[in-house]
Amino acid sequence: MNSTEQSLLHANSEKSAVEKEPEAFRKALAIILKERSFSYPSFDIYKGVTGLLDYGPSGRLVELNVLSLWRKYFVNEEDMLEVGCTALTPEIVFNASGHVKKFTDLMVKDVINGKNHRADHLVKGYCERLKKDVTISAEKAAELDNLLSVVENLSAEELGAKIQEYGITAPDTNNPLSHPPRPFNLMFQTSIGSSGSTNGYLRPETAQGIFVNFNEYYKDSGEKLPFAVAQVGRVFRNEISPRQGPIRAREFLLAEIEHFVDPENKSHPKFPDVESLEFLMFPREEQEKSGQSAKKLCLGEAVAKGTVNSETLGYFIGRVYLFLVCLGIDKERLRFRQHKANEMAHYAADCWDAEIECSYGWIECVGIADRSAYDLLAHSRISKVALKAEAKLAEPIQVEELVITPVMREMGLAFKGDQKNVVEALQALNEEEAMKMKGTLESKGEVEFEVCTLGKKVTINKDMVSILKKRTLVSTRVFTPSVVEPSFGIGRIMYCMYEHCISTRPSKAGDQQLNVFRFPPLVAPIKCTVFPLVQNQQFEEATKLISKQLKSDGIKHKIDVSGKSIGKKYARADELGVPFAITVDSETSVTIRERDSRDQVRVSLKEAASVVTSMAEGKKTWQDVCARLNG
């Protein structure tokens, strides 16, 4: 890394500098992420494909740590059911869910080189560039702001009109663009089986696998609401022209929770645990006023005022906040933004995004949506399988039930081989039709009746069927549950965490800037390095002993026996975000150094591994350890 890149990273401590040169900052960070094996473009020896990203050993360890914390914060804390569904999905599922029709982006083509572009991104880019022009009028600026706030939700015609009005051309080439924008489905399509007859897609979210199995999970939960099902898995979205490498990937890991709840009772027993939290929130109404930004609100008040539509939604917003902060996300660059009415997905009733600010702007990293009963109803309708829950009523209620009883002997005599079709058609009558038939039978004694499955009309007389309404007492209510869905883009969260945790500081000699990843110990890929101060047999044995203990505790560590100076060793470990370093400098005791404070404590050789383990597992802090050993 050269000194320009170095200084750009250094600038990260001053947010304004990153904002000034976001591209240079990103480029410098990308170099570290590759050099230290966090992540890099896939299939690079073949020049790769945009939108695909591999995790190297450091990145994979961070991912496993993030998932482990996620399980602790959500799955274990709430006794959720974690499941595993397939990514390959037959078409009928996404027909039912609406994805085949609606999971699209609008695209325009560079008419000369044939390259496709996302229409909304072009308009957005145009507005953002123009806004930087200080000579534009206040009126024009307000127009641009207004357009920016709705650009993702414009129709093909509206977007096409804007592209023509502003004379927007293709990026890089300035070529004219096709008109009007066309929808492009973002799901990857494939064919399942050897006959080519079963169309399939790769899931763009894990949720549908959960919805179709609702009855299984309802059984697993003892047929009681609320309960939650969690799933971690790769999902696939065929982005039109992914430019924001780590942010807009074509294959990425989602961690999703489907919390099923009675639509008449969205309270949450643990809401009091989070109601006093305060953090940046950006409600819908605030966004509609111009010049507003997110403000610190108290979560309990936001729910009480109805800004957040239920305790359950509020509870998850609070838990997501705690989780992200625990990962090392900067509170000041984290906000919860409510979707505007025209912005919500085709299935959502209310939605709040946890957005994290990074060099790409405010990025949606977690979506917390109330999907209402949309998906269960859709699958139930197409599959003809009931996906419902039952709740005991406070006291039984009277209901009227329609009972249609064909008299089989009469029907058999009259219709012979057609009897079955006639019976089924009668039983399929809805209440209105049935009561009309009852009236006609009572007044005229018979009625003409169209049997679709026979393709003809038959005559029904009053001896052939009894139609009546029965009053019964029921003690349960049967309903389709609502679902509240927190959905975590693990890769985006990780990338934002890298941006928030990277920093630089001068070397001891002051002659250069050194990179430091200030990961919380729980997240750091490697928890500890072990250096023998000199290479002799005693120190080597002590090093082995510590390493063996750390391994048996499952603590990832590295031993550095290179001939480098201790300063260089620290610098290399700091750049990887290793929080603790053990220097073996005696046969009986060692020095432990903490990355951020660069403070040191001495502990006995015997204790060294367990002290580091307790901090790496989050059971003790560095302050706890210092207080005990120095105090």
Give the footprint of its own copies on residues 41-80 (CB under 8 A). 42-46, 48-57, 59-61, 63-64, 72, 76
Minimum Å gap between C-beta 337 and its own copies is 28
188 binds its own copies (CB under 8 A): yes
In this structure, the number of other CB atoms found within 10 A of the CB of residue 335 comes to 22
Answer whether 620's CB lies under 8 Å from 610's CB: no
Which CB sits closer to its own copies, 176 or 233?
Answer: 233
Closer CB to its own copies, residue 194 or residue 430? 194
Exactly one of 160, 181, 200, 481 binds its own copies (CB under 8 A); that residue is 200
**Which of these segments, 172-180, 282-290, 382-390, 592-600, binds its own copies (CB under 8 A)?**
382-390
Count of residues in contact with its own copies, rule CB under 8 A? 75
Shortest approach of its own copies to residue 354 CB, angstroms?
23
Query: 216 or 433, CB closer to its own copies?
Result: 216
The residues in 245-264 that bind its own copies, with binding defined as CB under 8 A, are 250-251
Restricting to residues 311-340, which ones interact with its own copies according to CB under 8 A? none
Nearer to its own copies, 50 or 169 (CB): 50
Stretch of 142-150, 353-361, 376-384, 433-441 contacting its own copies, by CB under 8 A: 376-384
| Residues in 386-405 at the binding interface with its own copies, rule: CB under 8 A | 387
Among 198, 267, 292, 600, contact with its own copies (rule: CB under 8 A): 198
Q: Is the dihedral of CA 131, 135, 136, 141 positive or negative?
A: positive
Region near its own copies per CB under 8 A, out of 183-191, 364-372, 413-421, 493-501: 183-191
| DSSP letter for each residue of 348-384 | -SEEEEEEEEETTEEEEEEEEEEEETHHHHHHHHHH-
Name which position in 2, 135, 165, 193 contacts its own copies (CB under 8 A): 193
- DSSP one-letter string for 25-54: HHHHHHHHHHHTTSEEETTGGGT--TT-EE
Q: Which residue, 61 or 354, is less far from its own copies as judged by CB? A: 61
3-state secondary structure of 539: helix
How far is Cα 355 from Cα 490, in angstroms, rounded to an integer? 13
DSSP strand pairing (278-282 vs 334-338): parallel
Give yes or no for residue 381 binding its own copies (CB under 8 A): no
The CB-of-49 to its own copies minimum distance in angstroms stands at 5
> Which residue, 367 or 525, is less far from its own copies as judged by CB?
525
Contact at 8 Å (CB) between 300 and 279?
A: no
Residue 106 CB, nearest distance to its own copies (Å)? 11
22 vs 618 by CB, closer to its own copies = 618
Fill in the amino acid letter for 12. Answer: N
Sort 488 into a burial class: Cβ within 10 Å, 0-12 / 13-18 / 19+.
buried
Q: Which is nearer to its own copies, 43 or 292 (CB)?
A: 43
For residues 312 and 271, give the distance between their C-alpha atoms in angstroms, rounded to a whole number: 7
Question: For the packed helices 57-70 and 490-501, what is the interaxial angle rounded to 10 degrees?
Answer: 110
Nearest partner of 583 among 626, 527, 532, 549, judged by Cα:
532
Task: State yes or no: residue 481 binds its own copies (CB under 8 A).
Answer: no
Q: Mask of contacts with its own copies, 203-242, x by CB under 8 A?
A: ------x--xx-xxx-xx------------xx-x-x-xx-
Task: Report the site for its own copies in 16-45 (rule: CB under 8 A).
Answer: 37, 40, 42-45
Output the CA–CA distances (angstroms, integers) from residue 547 to 19, 104, 533, in the order listed. 43, 52, 15
Is residue 616 within the footprint of its own copies (CB under 8 A)? no
End-to-end CA distance of the chain: 42
Contact 611, 602 (CB under 8 A): no
- Positions 540 through 559 that interact with its own copies (CB under 8 A): 551, 554
Using alpha carbons, select from 355, 369, 230 the residue that is nearest to residue 313. Answer: 369
Cβ proximity to its own copies: between 24 and 83 the closer is 83
C-alpha–C-alpha distance, residues 468 and 338, integer Å: 50
Residues in 85-104 that interact with its own copies by CB under 8 A: 85-90, 92-93
CB of 163 to its own copies, least distance (A): 17
The amino acid at 630: N
Q: How far is the CB of 493 from its own copies (least distance, A)?
A: 15
